[in-house]
């Protein structure tokens, strides 16, 4: 938790040599600056740790200071007390408080005294989840309830199958839309007989099969990233599945993004010129579509291919014979 406090002090009537405040519990000084500041010191008292700002001399007029304090982070809490810097020498203290949560955290005001809640957007703040308050008086108190917010994930996919005499070659582009909280790993189901499996995308560091994670002929894979991602993210998986010699039929299974709120998209099939590919029974999970209807941002490495068959994907758990 970072407490960054920028404040202006108006010193009237008589000059002063220092300013001081009681350090919030479990916080430490990261930095203190100001044109009129000579040095700062810390003193342990019965009331707690007192930070004193020693000024360059007897000081009058308007002076600007910046204080940054660092304290422990918070995952979830009830009635978490918001830290505050109160200048002990001030006759009156007013101001504005902004509370900015990390991605994936939700804040709710539990109790407040001496604060008036504001609309952050009216102050030009566009960040989601920010709370804004006007400080009316000191001492004042403000407590928050803090919760972890689950990510909301929607996937639009393009699964392309190239039919050859001995194999199906699959390229699947999964375009994630991630809201509320970032992700550092993805889970994807692909057929158990997939060969030469390869995942690629920005920040991908590793991918591996999950042990004891086979469902309906599909193997679960985990894709790990170097850092968390949020917003739009494109993940590509390529693999082959074998077709027996002289086979008259093959089945294309859907690539499924696991732990997502929805998956929609497209499925396309391209056949070798020497082969004739037909579909006698179209599953309800697929609906006939046109190649031109596929969004361009799904066509990574597929923009130049042609498709014999194109479908809208209504349900990712399909088997196309």
| CA torsion, ordered 297, 302, 305, 307, to nearest 10 deg | -70
Kindly tell me if the per-residue pLDDT of 246 is higher than 90.
no
**For residues 88 and 61, is the Cβ–Cβ distance under 8 A?**
no
What confidence tens digit (pLDDT) does each residue in 51-91 have? 999 999 898 899 999 999 999 999 889 999 999 999 999 99
Average pLDDT over residues 100-116: 90
Per the document, the length of the chain is: 321
Quote the mean pLDDT of the chain.
Answer: 92
Residue 188: pLDDT over 90: yes
257-273 mean pLDDT = 94
Q: Which residue has the higher pLDDT, 32 or 129?
A: 32
Given a cut of 80, whether residue 123 has pLDDT beyond it is no
Residue 175, strand partner residues: 156, 234
In percent, the amount of the chain with pLDDT more than 90 equals: 76
The torsion defined by the Cα of 203, 205, 211 and 215, in degrees rounded to 10, comes to 30
Q: DSSP secondary-structure letter at 297?
A: G
- Considering all CA atoms of the chain, what is the largest pairwise distance in Å, rounded to the nearest integer? 100
pLDDT digits (tens, 9 = 90+) for 1-54: 999 999 999 998 888 999 999 999 999 999 999 999 999 999 999 999 999 999
From residue 11, give the alpha-carbon distance in Å to each of 8, 51, 85, 89, 251: 10, 19, 18, 10, 81
Query: What is the model's pLDDT at position 176?
Result: 97
Token digits for 320?
């196309």
Can you tell me the mean pLDDT for 205-232?
94
pLDDT band of residue 307 (cuts 50, 70, 90) is confident
């Amino acid at each position: 938790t970072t407490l960054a406090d920028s404040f202006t002090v108006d010193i009237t009537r008589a000059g002063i040599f220092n300013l001081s405040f009681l350090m919030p519990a479990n916080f430490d000084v990261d930095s203190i600056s100001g044109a009129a500041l000579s040095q700062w010191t810390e003193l342990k008292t019965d009331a707690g740790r007192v930070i004193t700002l020693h000024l360059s001399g007897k000081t009058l007029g308007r002076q600007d200071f910046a204080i940054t304090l660092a304290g422990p982070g918070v995952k979830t809490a009830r009635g978490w007390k918001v830290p505050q810097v109160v200048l002990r020498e001030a006759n009156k203290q007013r101001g504005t408080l902004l509370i900015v949560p990390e991605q994936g955290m939700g804040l709710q005001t539990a109790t407040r005294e001496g604060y008036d809640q504001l609309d952050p957007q009216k102050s030009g703040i566009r960040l989601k989840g920010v709370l804004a308050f006007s400080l009316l008086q000191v001492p004042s108190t403000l407590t928050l309830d803090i919760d972890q917010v689950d990510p909301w994930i929607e996937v639009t996919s393009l699964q392309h199958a190239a039919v050859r005499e001995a194999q199906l070659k699959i390229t699947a582009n999964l375009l994630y839309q991630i809201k509320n909280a970032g992700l550092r790993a993805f889970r994807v189901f692909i057929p158990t007989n997939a060969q030469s499996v390869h995942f690629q995308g920005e920040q991908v560091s590793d991918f591996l099969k999950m042990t004891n994670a086979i469902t309906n002929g599909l193997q679960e894979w985990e894709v790990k990233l170097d850092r968390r991602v949020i917003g739009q993210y494109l993940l590509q998986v390529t693999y082959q599945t074998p077709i027996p010699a002289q086979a008259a039929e093959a089945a294309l299974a859907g690539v499924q993004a696991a732990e997502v709120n929805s998956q929609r998209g497209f499925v396309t099939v391209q056949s070798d010129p020497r082969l004739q590919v037909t579909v006698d029974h179209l599953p309800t999970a697929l609906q006939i579509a046109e190649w031109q209807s596929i969004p361009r941002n799904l066509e990574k490495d597929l923009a130049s291919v042609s498709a014999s068959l194109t479908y809208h994907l209504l349900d990712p758990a399909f088997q196309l014979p």
